[in-house]
Structure 1
């Protein structure tokens, strides 16, 4: 099992330079992955600093050489497929093939209804599926013609060519996020390269085992497929190795350490330094 950290793209004094420092710190401490949330607004009354995760991850890519980078998760229905193709390919090539794209259909009305985006959750799911299929084709670097219900990349005697393709083959790995237990997100995830299950409350070993069983049922074979489970562990907790091993035995391939200001076990002080301290402690 590999170990990643997941951090908000917002917080007091958080900027792209801080994100780059966090990523460098995480790599030096032995983490395998560094992932940012993708939100437009902070989860509290402002003003609170918010950074664009893609620009911040570009800074992180320039500050690191080994650690895997990505978003957990990007709500694709509020982004344009051709723009996402350009951004992901650019970052994948800049990082030397270290990008993972986490995706979801999104939540919270202040990032959808209140800013004029699609408010219906089922429609966003349809948009997500169409977006992913189109993005996968755009990543080939070959001519693409697409005229779908929600997206278009076609014109008279014209096809979209997003060249060059990503450095990774056959594509940038796609992990699909979804609330557990659920149906549609996990059926969707089975078609791609990994799943990022979420739930309200603690994530238990039994949940990991249930997700692994569901993915095995849907895919038939989990070879090359990632199950990235959420969790919280203390860098000074001697028992964390047993916790990690239990999830690995249950089917997890990644432990994603959630590092955020709402953790009650982290010091209640300057968030930038608190987060850095947890990263320095390693997995």
Structure 2
């Protein structure tokens, strides 16, 4: 099985990083299957562009590469507005959208508070929106739960694949609303047993086994910069994501050469992944692109 390889689309804010359109063109030229943008506006001064507008910019200058949210925070947008956003991206991209979704990992962030989104309600809001979305995209009249006249959105658009982000706690949502599971920060050794449990639950419920897309950090090379990047990543995973140091240390894709990264890609495939999405924590963005693209070819 050939595993699909995607990479992140940079915002263009860092020195030496190309503009969003130029970066999207390069990702397509290098033959990547997909490009991804996180929906991650914190509101604490951390640079972040609107994910949907960024993907629209990428869609306008590419023809083949798929465009994906990695992931879109569903509770931040009312269901009708989200449906318009998704339909627009489908039309602009020629139905290339991959709809990674999540309920949001930072409900205490200033941006959440500014929007007035109740963090404790984010799971319920996410489920309700995902339940409405296919009908809203169909172009048929839809009555919303809060009443009012039927809502008809046009033009209609195909429902994109829904990839539900999160840990194993998201399996219920994956099987009810999703086409795939989109975990991150899982080493192949940890992914394999999780995929087996997901497939077992799918079989018990009589539904098709979801696809699996896994996202993760890459550390390229073995110089002082690579070691410093790895140490910084491990600290972040321990402090922010509450991982143990042992789990955090094996989470990153540490590869001295593209050949070593190719072996990691193959290990993910053996563990049940259909797609790997990665970007490096060190090196220039162009170097990252070349390194990952070479590894992808070696893994074919």
Using structure 2 for the length normalisation, give the TM-score: 0.76
Listed one character per residue, the Cα deviations across residues 219-239 of structure 1 (whole Å, up to 9, x for unaligned) are 127857320112344484212
User: Which residue number in structure 1 is paired with residue 5 of structure 2?
Assistant: 3
Listed one character per residue, the Cα deviations across residues 142-195 of structure 1 (whole Å, up to 9, x for unaligned) are 111121xxxx4x42xx311112221x3xx21111111x3x42x12101221111
* Structure 1 residue 197 displacement after superposition: 1.0
Q: Which runs of 5+ in 2 are unaligned?
A: 221-254
SS of match in other structure, 1:23: helix
CA shift in 2, pair 1:97/1:219, >3 Å: same
CA shift in 2, pair 1:207/1:165, >3 Å: farther
Listed one character per residue, the Cα deviations across residues 86-114 of structure 1 (whole Å, up to 9, x for unaligned) are 11111111111100111111122125553
Using structure 1 for the length normalisation, give the TM-score: 0.80
User: Which residue number in structure 1 is paired with residue 231 of structure 2?
Assistant: none
* Structure 1 residue 209 displacement after superposition: 0.8
Q: How does 1:14-29 map to 2 (within 5 A)?
A: 18-29=19-30
CA shift in 2, pair 1:142/1:14, >3 Å: farther
Q: In 2, are the aligned partners of 1:112 and 1:118 still within 8 Å (CA)?
A: no
Measured in 2, the distance between the counterparts of 1:55 and 1:65 equals: 17
Q: How does 1:51-66 map to 2 (within 5 A)?
A: 51-66=49-64
User: Which residue number in structure 1 is paired with residue 155 of structure 2?
Assistant: 164
Q: In 1, are the aligned partners of 2:279 and 2:288 still within 8 Å (CA)?
A: no
* Structure 1 residue 204 displacement after superposition: 1.4
User: Which residue number in structure 2 is paired with residue 270 of structure 1?
Assistant: none
* Structure 1 residue 8 displacement after superposition: 5.9
Alignment pair present for 1:173 and 2:183? no
Listed one character per residue, the Cα deviations across residues 41-65 of structure 1 (whole Å, up to 9, x for unaligned) are 37xx64x543211111111001111
SS of match in other structure, 1:186: helix
Alignment pair present for 1:110 and 2:109? yes
Q: In 2, are the aligned partners of 1:212 and 1:251 still within 8 Å (CA)?
A: yes
Q: In 2, are the aligned partners of 1:26 and 1:279 still within 8 Å (CA)?
A: yes
Q: Which runs of 5+ in 1 are unaligned?
A: 268-273
Q: How does 1:41-80 map to 2 (within 5 A)?
A: 41=42, 46=45, 49-80=47-78
**Alignment partner of 2:174 out of 183, 189, 208:** 189
Q: In 1, are the aligned partners of 2:68 and 2:100 still within 8 Å (CA)?
A: yes
Q: How does 1:143-154 map to 2 (within 5 A)?
A: 143-147=141-145, 152=146, 154=147
Alignment pair present for 1:229 and 2:214? yes
* Structure 1 residue 14 displacement after superposition: 9.6
CA shift in 2, pair 1:58/1:113, >3 Å: closer
* Structure 1 residue 244 displacement after superposition: 1.0
Measured in 1, the distance between the counterparts of 2:268 and 2:143 equals: 43
Measured in 2, the distance between the counterparts of 1:13 and 1:59 equals: 20
| Larger RCO, structures 1/2 (Cα 8 Å, 6+ apart) | 1
Q: In 2, are the aligned partners of 1:69 and 1:99 still within 8 Å (CA)?
A: yes
User: Which residue number in structure 2 is paired with residue 215 of structure 1?
Assistant: 198
Measured in 2, the distance between the counterparts of 1:90 and 1:96 equals: 10
User: Which residue number in structure 2 is paired with residue 251 of structure 1?
Assistant: 272
Q: In 1, are the aligned partners of 2:11 and 2:19 still within 8 Å (CA)?
A: no
